Structures are given as structure tokens and as C-alpha cells.
Amino acid sequence: MISVCSARTIQASPSSIHFFFPRNRRRIDSNVLRFSANFSSRCSDYDEYSEAQSERIANYAGTRLEETVDINPGKVRLDSWISSRINGISRARVQSSIRAGLVSVNGRVIDKVSHNVKAGDVINCTISELQPLRAEPEDIDLDIVYEDEHVLVVNKPAHMVVHPAPGNATGTLVNAILNHCSLPMVSTSTGEHQSDSDVSDDEFSSIEVFSRVSEAPIRPGIVHRLDKGTSGLLVVAKDEHSHAHLSAQFKQHSIERVYISLTCGVPPSTAGRIEIPICRDPNNRIRMTATHGTKNNPHAKHAASRYNVMEILAQGGSSLVEWRLETGRTHQIRAHAKYMGIPLLGDEVYGGTKSMAMSLLRTRASSNCHGQLMQLVSSLERPCLHALTLGFVHPHTGKNIRFSCPPPTDFAEILSQLREIGTKKLQVTKS
């Protein structure tokens, strides 16, 4: 249901510390993120963690599939068909099994993941053992918003993956951390790894990183993560106590997380709460979908978001929307925005396509700015979603600390252009 939320103002405590830093590229000091070996059990009961791990933590090694394709599926790839027959397994895991020679079609081994299946094909598949990912230290600059001996707050750029996954073994936040901590090449073990397109917008993330030599766990202390395409603030713990304390705050939903987005169109009401369960889209594994109930879909998870329209842009062709999450489901904001009929600008997966954006904006903008508008929309390579604000209780001082960071250039430029077409600012109701 979608309902208008009641207004209330969040007041920072007298001990709150507020920070607003411009972009400031510094290096993480070398003493961070060495955690003890018995820590991972503390993280097992958090809903964001459980939802994220539900598809990754099961070891499918040795799972066998022997089945005949009974109807003509059209042009369907082998990896996609197998993924649809084994509930919860990732496409990347199936692909590794195919490449390992563990899949046959009509008695012939097929090692091409894009092989097309057809009616009558007899498919035999055995899922391969999990292969640890190798993460190497990389000299990557990070935008450090705040750092002390216990916590680190990073402004993650769009297109950076938080931790290694199939298809994204390099260039991740973990690779950068390993370099700044002067750690050796490591193997990461997070259970069932996801591809880059499966990484969630904001969910609990317990990442185990093991030394290649000693196998002693070295934990990056990343207690949540952002989707590859989402920019903004992310907190990293530097010690076990900080990780446990921050994790508990995520469990209790006491972490302040504020996002802003640009949408295609305007929400039906200027402020509201949307409470619609979310599950994996059965027709597209990289996408989540909002569903009307869990009775007929046991995989659907409770999800609730609060939103406020900050500005109506381009005479109603777009809007600047603030989001506050009550839960941390995979792609929650993107799925809820699509359900409301206002997909995020630039979100090709959830309907916020460039063609849709231009169809909404072209009729509202004067002809002399069509060219620039088309150029900006065409240059969008990610959903316009930014983690603007992050607030939490410092795990050692007990003080409320709060950070904000403006959106990056791609977001700011198109927002400026939309404002030139027309803007109507609204009063934001804190919820």
C-alpha cells in the first residue's frame, strides 16, 4: 500500500557532530581492518544480511539437474535456463559450472554459456565447487569523508563495486583497502558470489577476506554496501568492536540513511510511505520486483520506504526525491520507484530508460535546449541515485555523528538542466 506518512522532525542530540566535507581524496592509513577469526557469527541474524545471504550462503556444490526441456522456450541461453530450474542459484555460479565441463546437452558436453536450448533437449548439469575469488591490492584513490582510529566514512563513486565478484575481480573497494592496508593478495569467501548486476543498493554485508599464506581472516569491516551504480556514503569499521556495534545499529534500523534520486515523472503524492514486499523477478534474475503479498510467493521479503518530493522538475517531467529506508532489501528504492510508476532516471533495468526520459522532457522543454538535454540524458550510464546522508552512533565515543556529501557531477549536471526547464521546491517532511 502507499500511504501518506505523518510528519515528524528529527532533532540531533546535543552531542551530535555534523560534518560536511567537499571532495577530499586521501589514503586510508595502513593500520585498518585486521579483525579476529571468530567474528562472522555475530552478523548472522540481521535482516539485510539474511536477505542478501539467502541466495549466496547455500553451497550448491554437487547439486544435479537432469531434465528435458518440455516446451519451446524461444531463444533462451543455457545458463539462463539452468538458473531458472535451480531456485536461488546465481547465474555466475551456473556459468562457472558450464565452463568447467559439468553440463551436457543430449549427451554432449557444452562449455558455451550462451548455447541456446530448445524443446526436447536433455540437460544434465552438476554444480561445481565454489572457487574462492582472488583479490589483489590495487592503488586506488578513495574519497575519504571522515576517518579516525575506529571508523572510516567513504564517498563511493558510481561504477565502483564494493567487493570482488565474478566479472568484477578488480577495481573494487576491497581491492583499494587491501592496498592501503599493505595486505597481500587474498581469497574472498562470502558463500555464493553474485555478479556485478546483483549487488544490492544497500544491504548488510559481512565480507570474509583470507590471507593466502596463513588463512587467518582479515575482515574489511564493510558493514553495508551500495550498488555498483549508486554513489555516496558508506561506513567501514576498523576494528571488531566497531563492526559489531555498527552492525547492531543496522539491525535495529537506527542508522540514518538518506538517499536522493531523480525520477521519471512525479510521485502520486508529495510524501508517503510505500510498504510492498520485494522478491527476485522470476523472468529477469538481475532485477527485483514489488509484489502484492507473500502468501503466494514465499521468497518475497517485507520492504518499506518513506519518500519526500523535494522538487518538481521540468514542469513535472522529473522530480528530486528523498528516500529513507525502513528495511534494506536488494534494489529496494529502485523496485519501489518502479512500482510507483516513477522509475529512476537512467535506470535501464527498472524502466527509467533514456527514451522514456526524453519523451517526458521533450514536450516540456523549449526546442533550443533539446540538444543539450539529449546529450545529458544519453550520457547517463547509471540510475540517478545517491546516498546523501549517513548518521550513526560512534561505536567508541557514543556520540551521534552525521555526514553529508553532495552528488557527483553526472547527477548535478542533469539536475541543473532540469531546473532550468522548470522547478518547484517543496517543503521536505522529515520522517
Q: What is the 3-state secondary structure (H, E, C) of 198-226?
A: HCCCEEECCCEEEECCCCCECCCCECEEE
Which residues are registered as beta bridge partners of 77?
116
Strands of 356-410, DSSP E: 385-393, 400-404
- Annotated catalytic residue within 227, 239, 347, 410: 227
CB 390 within 8 A of CB 235: yes
Say if CB 345 and CB 354 are below 8 A apart.
Answer: no
Known catalytic residue at 139: no
**Residue 370 cell numbers, joined:** 533539446
**93 vs 1, 69, 189, 286, 352, CA distance in Å?**
36, 21, 14, 14, 29
Closest listed residue to residue 214, CA positions, set 191, 189, 239, 186:
186
Q: What is the 3-state secondary structure (H, E, C) of 139-201?
A: CCCEEEEEECCCEEEEEECCCCCCCCECCECCCCHHHHHHHHCCCCCEEEECCCCCCHHHCCC
Q: pLDDT tens across 102-150, in order? A: 999 999 999 999 999 999 999 999 998 876 667 788 899 989 999 888 8
Helix or strand (DSSP H, E) at 2: strand 2-3
Q: What is the 3-state secondary structure (H, E, C) of 235-247?
A: EEECCHHHHHHHH
pLDDT class for 201, splitting at 50, 70, 90? Answer: very low
Q: Among 19-33, 82-96, 286-300, 357-371, whose mean pLDDT is lowest?
A: 19-33
Please report which confidence band the pLDDT of residue 293 belongs to, taking 50, 70 and 90 as the band edges.
low
Residue type, 58: A
How many C-beta atoms lie closer than 10 Å to residue 429's C-beta?
Answer: 19
Instruction: Check pLDDT > 60 for residue 195.
Output: no
Of 157-171, 245-259, 327-341, which range is least confident? Answer: 157-171
Does position 374 have pLDDT exceeding 90, yes or no?
A: no
pLDDT of 199 over the 60 cut: no
C-alpha cell read off for 400: 551521534
Task: Give the span between the Cα atoms of 115 and 100, in whole angstroms.
Answer: 15
Q: Which three cell numbers stand for residue 269?
A: 503524492
Q: Is the pLDDT of residue 294 over 70?
A: no
pLDDT in tens, 329-371: 889 999 999 999 999 999 999 999 989 998 888 888 878 778 8
pLDDT for position 273: 96
More confident position, 320 or 62: 320
CATH superfamily of 64-126: RNA-binding S4 domain (3.10.290.10)
Q: Are 327 and 245 in contact (CB under 8 A)?
A: no
Q: Which of 259, 251, 255, 249 is nearest to 226 (CA)?
A: 259
Cα separation, 383 vs 261, in Å, equals 8
What are the residue boundaries of the structural domains of the chain, listed by start? 29-55+132-251, 64-126, 256-425
- pLDDT at 408 > cutoff 70: yes
Position with higher pLDDT, 178 vs 363: 363
Strand ranges, E, within 246-384: 256-264, 271-275, 278-280, 288-290, 304-313, 318-325
CATH number of 256-425: 3.30.2350.10
d(CA 115, CA 80): 10
The whole-number pLDDT of residue 185 equals 60
Flag whether pLDDT at 263 surpasses 90: yes
List phi, psi (to 5°) of 343: -55, 150
Mind listing the pLDDT tens digit for each residue in 11-53? 333 333 333 333 333 333 333 333 332 333 333 333 443 343 4
